[in-house]
Amino acid sequence: MANQQSAPVFLNLFRIRFPVGAVTSIAHRISGVLMFSSLPLVIFLLDISLQGPAGFDRALDYLQTGWLRAGSVIIAWSVFHHLFSGIRNLLIDIDCGVSLQQARRSAWLANIAGLSMTLAWLWWIL
Amino acid sequence: MVDSVSRPTHGLRDWLLQRFTAVYLGCFLLYLMVHFYNQPQHDYQQWHDWIRHPAMTIASAAFILALLVHGWVGMRDVVLDYANTLRARLLLLSLIALVFIGCGLWALQILLLSAR
User: What's the residue count for chain B?
Assistant: 116
Residues with Cβ < 8 Å from A118, sequence gap 6 or more?
A73, A76, A77, A80, A81
- Separation between Cα atoms, residue A49 and residue A43, nearest integer Å: 10
Q: Would the CB atoms of B71 and A43 count as touching at under 8 Å?
A: no
pLDDT of residue B4: 52
Residues A19-36 pLDDT 10s = 999 999 999 999 999 999
Q: Would you say residue A47 lies in a domain?
A: yes
Residues of A in contact with B113 (CB under 8 A): 50
Q: Would you say residue A66 lies in a domain?
A: yes
Q: Would you say residue A7 lies in a domain?
A: no
pLDDT exceeds cutoff 60 at B88? yes
Over chain B, what is the mean pLDDT? 90
Query: Taking an 8 Å Cβ-Cβ cutoff, which residues of chain B contact chain A?
Result: 6-8, 19, 22-23, 26, 29, 43-45, 47-48, 51, 71, 74-75, 78, 81-82, 84, 86, 96, 99, 102-103, 106-107, 110, 113-114
Work out the angle between the directed axes of helices B54-82 and B11-38 (0-180°, nearest 10).
Answer: 130
**pLDDT band (50, 70, 90) for residue B116:** confident
Report the CATH number at residue A116.
Answer: 1.20.1300.10
Quote the pTM value.
0.87
Q: Report the residue of chain A nearest B114, measured CA to CA.
A: A50
Q: Would you say residue A8 lies in a domain?
A: no
Instruction: Write the CA distances from A2 to A5, B4, B6, B81, B84, integer angstroms.
Output: 7, 12, 7, 15, 12
Residues of B in contact with A39 (CB under 8 A): 71, 99, 103
pLDDT exceeds cutoff 80 at B6? no
Q: The domain B3-115: what is its CATH number?
A: 1.20.1300.10
How high is the ipTM of this complex?
0.88
Domain around A93: 20-125
User: Nearest CA of chain A to the CA of B1: how many Å?
Assistant: 16
Q: Would you say residue A113 lies in a domain?
A: yes
Residues A72-117 pLDDT 10s = 999 999 999 999 999 999 999 999 999 999 999 999 999 999 999 9
Q: Would you say residue A3 lies in a domain?
A: no
Q: CA B50, A43, A27 angle in degrees (round to 5)? A: 110
